[in-house]
Amino acid sequence: MTLLGKIKTPADLRALSLEELPTLAGEIREAIIGQVSRTGGHLAPNLGVVELSIALHYVFDFGKDRLLFDVGHQCYPHKLLTGRADMLDGLRTSKGMAGFPAPSESPFDLFSVGHAGTGVSTAVGMARGDTLRGEAYDPKANPEGRRVVTLVGDASIVNGLAMEGLNNAGTLKRQFLVILNDNGMSIAKPQGALAQAFDRVRISSMYTDLKKSAKSVLRHVPGGALLADTYHRAGEATKAMIAARVEDASSHDLHWFEHFGLLTVGPINGHDIPQLVEFLAEAREFDRPMVLHVKTVKGKGLEYAERDATTFHSPPSHTYDPASCRVEIKSSGRSFTAAAADAILDVMERDDQVVAATAAMPGGTGMDKVMPVYPDRTWDTGICESHAMDMMAGLAKTGFKPFFAVYSTFLQRAFDQAFQEVSLQGLPVRLMLDRAGLVGGDGAVHHGFCDVAILRTLPDAALTAAIDEPSLRAAVEFMRTYEEGLSSVRYPRDTCSDRLIADDCPAFELGKARCLTPNVERPDVAVLAFGTPAIHALDARDQLDGEYGVSVYDARFAKPVDRDLIRTLLEQGVPIVTVEDHSIVGGFGSAMIDAAQEMGLDASRITRLGLPDSWIMQDPRATQLAEAGIDAAGIARAIRRAADPSERGVASEPKPDRTTSPATT
C-alpha cells in the first residue's frame, strides 16, 4: 500500500518518519496531476503547497488547532491529508471532493473559501473567540490550548481586506501564525509595489544565509525590543530566521509587517520538509502574532506547470506527451471569454478613449489577449477589485470610457465603489461580467448569482446580457456609447452558441427586447429570457414540437426592462415565463413583476424561473442548469404549466438535496 493510502487522518501522517515524508509528497503530486488531467481543476497552486501542507499537519493538530485558508484553491493536499483521498476521483462534482474548502465535507475545513483576502480576518475572529472561551494556547496557563494558523498565498496578501486583517492581528496578545506562501504568482503575475518588494527579497542575501548571529544588532532595527525578547525565547531555527532578517535589515522590504505588530521571519524554502518542520515546530510555541515567509514554486514537480503557471493555474482536462513535451488542453468550442476579448479589442481599435482593466484575472477574462496590444490603455491591478472599480471611476471622471473585466462573483467585492464612486457620481463605468450564473466545478463559492440583484438598485444603471457572440459584441458597442451611468453585460463560463449565427443581430436599444421567433402572431406562452437561457428556451420550444404556440424573446435588459412588451403581452392575456441564470431573488424576473405592478397590470400570470434560494454545489454546468430547472427540459415543463391551467397544480420534478456533501449524508 502507498503511504497516501495509509493516511485516513493527520494522526496517521504524524506516525510517519521524517524521512518518509518526501515519498508521501511525491505520491500526493502524482494523485493531483492524474486527477486534474482527467477532470480539470486547480493544478499549479496545489502542486506548490504539497510540502508545506504536509509540514503543517505534521507539526500542528488541526483536529484541535485552527487552519484557515485564504485563497482556498490551494486545499487539495490538505484534503488528501485529512481522510478524503477516496473522494478525489469525484473532484469538483457532487459525488466527490469540492475544489475549495468545504465544511460540509470535513471538520478540518472551517470556512468555504473562494475569494481572496479573507483568511487573516476570519482567523483573528477565531483567535478572539478561543481566547474568550478560555481555549486559546498559552505556554503557561493553557499549553494544550488551540493554536491558530492562516495560510495566505497567490499574492492575496495585497487585497485590502488582508491589510485590514493584519492591522487587527497585530493587537492580539496570543499565539497567531500567518504563513505567507510567496510563489511569485497570483492567478497571473502579481502586480504592484508589494509584489516588487517580494521580488527583491527573493534575491536578497537573507535567503542564502540563515546562520549569522544577530544579537548585537537587534536593538538597531525596527521592532528590536520585540525581536530581542522573541530571540531570547526562540529555538535555534527561529534564531536563524530572525538573524537572517536582521542581517538584511537595510533593505526594509518586508519590515512593514512589523508596523502591524507582527514579528516577521524568513523567507525559508517551502519545499524543504525538514526545514519546514523545524521552523514550524518552533513557531508553534510563540505566544504572539508572527508572519512566516515561505518561498514556494507554483506548479512544483510538473515541468509544464512550472513553466506556465498561469495557463495551468486551473486548466480543463488535458493530455501530455512526454516525447514531444506537448500539452493538449481539451476545448469544446469558442468561449464567451474569448469572444469578450475580441469585442474589447474591436472597440479599443475604433475608439482611443476606451481603456480597460482586470483584477488579477487577465487569462480568466480574456484581457491577456488585449493587454499586449494596448499596454498603455490596459491594467491588471492584482487581487484588488475595490481599487480597480475606483480606478475606473477616476478614469471616467477624466473623460475616458473604462471597461472593467471581472468575474461576477468578484464584482460584489466592489459594490460599495460601484455605488459611491461610480453610480452616485453618474459616471459611465462599464462592467464585463464573466462567469455570470452557474460556473460548474468551482461550485457555490464562484457562482455569479447576484449581480443583477445588487446592480438593479443603482439609478440609471443599464444591465444587459449576451446570448451569443454577436449579441455580446452588440452589447459592448451599446455600453461604449452609454454615458448616463454604470452599465454591464453578463455572460457565462461556457461556449458561444451558433444557433442564431446566420441571423442578423440588431443593435441594442435601451430597454428593448429582441424577438427570436417573429413568425408567432399570438402565442399561448411568451418566454422572456435574460442571457443564454434564451437559447435553452428555443430548444424547449423545439421539444414541445408545436404542442403550444411559444414566442421566445431575448430580453437583453434586466434594467430597464421592456415595459411596452410586458404591457402588450399581459393585456392580451398571454402568460409570461421569465428565465435567467441568476438568483430568483431580486433578478430579472423580479424586475418584470415590479414593472407590471407599477403599470397597474396583473402580474399573476408571470412565472419566474431562475436559481433557487438555496446553494447549488459543484457539478458540471449542464447538471447544475438541470437542477435549477433552467435547461431546455425545465423550461418546457414551465411552458406547459403556464399554457395549460390543468398543469399548474402539477409539481415540478423533485430536485436532489444539495445542501450537504455526500460525505455527510
656 HSE (CA, 13 A, CB side): 15
For residues 447 and 627, give the distance between their C-alpha atoms in angstroms, rounded to a whole number: 14
38 is catalytic: no
Contact by Cβ (8 Å): 361, 367 = yes
Q: In Å, what is the CA distance from 20 to each residue of 13, 17, 24, 26, 30?
A: 10, 5, 7, 10, 16
Q: Average pLDDT in the 44-55 region? A: 95
For residues 401 and 582, give the distance between their C-alpha atoms in angstroms, rounded to a whole number: 27
385 is catalytic: yes
Residues of the chain with CATH 3.40.50.970: 3-204+253-295, 336-490
Query: Regarding beta strands 318-321 and 326-329, do their DSSP bridges make them parallel or antiparallel, or are they unpaired?
Result: antiparallel
Which residues have a Cβ under 8 Å from the Cβ of 196 and sit 6 or more positions away?
none
Q: What is the DSSP letter of 100?
A: S
Residue 234: closest CA among 173, 273, 288, 179:
288
Catalytic residue among 27, 105, 282, 385: 385
List the grid coordinates of 393: 471611476
3-class secondary structure for 406-445? EEHHHHHHHHHHHHHHHHCCCCCCEEEEECCECCHHHHHH
Lowest mean pLDDT among 150-159, 315-324, 447-456, 628-637: 315-324
The predicted pLDDT at position 321 comes to: 66
Lowest mean pLDDT among 220-234, 326-340, 530-544: 220-234
Which phi and psi (to 5°) does residue 587 adopt?
-95, -155
Count of CB atoms situated within 10 Å of the CB of 416: 12
Q: Average pLDDT in the 575-598 region? A: 98
Q: Per CATH, is 517-663 categorized as 3.40.50.2000?
A: no
For residues 92 and 441, give the distance between their C-alpha atoms in angstroms, rounded to a whole number: 4
Nearest-5° Cα angle at 646, 640 to 649: 85
Report, at the CATH architecture level, how domain 3-204+253-295 is classified.
3-Layer(aba) Sandwich (3.40)
For residues 165 and 180, give the distance between their C-alpha atoms in angstroms, rounded to a whole number: 14
For residues 640 and 638, give the distance between their C-alpha atoms in angstroms, rounded to a whole number: 5
Q: What is the DSSP letter of 508?
A: P
Is it the case that residue 617 has pLDDT exceeding 50?
yes
174 is catalytic: no
Catalytic residue among 401, 413, 456, 641: 413
Contact by Cβ (8 Å): 45, 36 = no
**pLDDT cut 70: percent of the chain above it:** 85
Question: How much of the chain is in helix, strand and coil states, percent to nearest 5?
Answer: 45, 15, 40
> What confidence tens digit (pLDDT) does each residue in 162-210 have?
889 998 999 999 999 999 998 865 455 555 545 454 444 443 333 333 3
Q: Rank 147-156, 212-221, 323-332, 528-537 by mean pLDDT and report only the highest.
A: 528-537
Residues of the chain with CATH 3.40.50.920: 517-663
For residues 538 and 506, give the distance between their C-alpha atoms in angstroms, rounded to a whole number: 18
Is it the case that residue 332 has pLDDT exceeding 90?
no
The region that residue 401 occupies, defined by phi over 0 for left and psi between -120 and 50 for alpha, beta otherwise, is beta
pLDDT band at residue 136 using 50, 70 and 90 as cut-offs:
very high
**Consecutive H or E run containing 598:** helix 588-598
Q: Average pLDDT in the 516-537 region? A: 95
DSSP 449-471: -SHHHHHTTSTT-EEEE-SSHHH
Catalytic residue among 298, 430, 490, 658: 298
Q: What is the DSSP letter of 13?
A: H
> What confidence tens digit (pLDDT) does each residue in 498-515 have?
999 999 999 999 999 999
- Cell numbers 485558508 correspond to 69
For residues 447 and 582, give the distance between their C-alpha atoms in angstroms, rounded to a whole number: 9
Is it the case that residue 322 has pLDDT exceeding 80?
no
Which phi and psi (to 5°) does residue 307 adopt?
-70, -35
> What confidence tens digit (pLDDT) does each residue in 401-429 have?
999 999 999 999 999 999 999 999 999 99
Q: Which of residues 665 and 62 earns the better pLDDT score?
A: 62
pLDDT band at residue 539 using 50, 70 and 90 as cut-offs:
very high
Q: What is the DSSP letter of 657?
A: -
3-state secondary structure of 388: helix
CA dihedral of residues 6, 10, 273, 239 (deg, nearest 10): -160
For residues 566 and 146, give the distance between their C-alpha atoms in angstroms, rounded to a whole number: 60
CATH number given to 336-490:
3.40.50.970
DSSP 276-311: HHHHHHHHTT--SEEEEEEE--TTTT-HHHHHTTTT
Beta strands in 555-661 (DSSP E): 557-559, 576-583, 606-611
The predicted pLDDT at position 236 comes to: 57
Q: In Å, what is the CA distance from 70 to each residue of 80, 204, 391?
A: 18, 27, 25
For residues 577 and 568, give the distance between their C-alpha atoms in angstroms, rounded to a whole number: 15
Contact by Cβ (8 Å): 582, 588 = yes
Nearest-5° Cα angle at 553, 550 to 556: 165
Q: Residue 234 burial (CB < 10 Å; 0-12/13-18/19+)?
A: buried
3-state secondary structure of 358: strand
Q: Which of residues 216 and 45 earns the better pLDDT score?
A: 45
Contact by Cβ (8 Å): 519, 451 = no
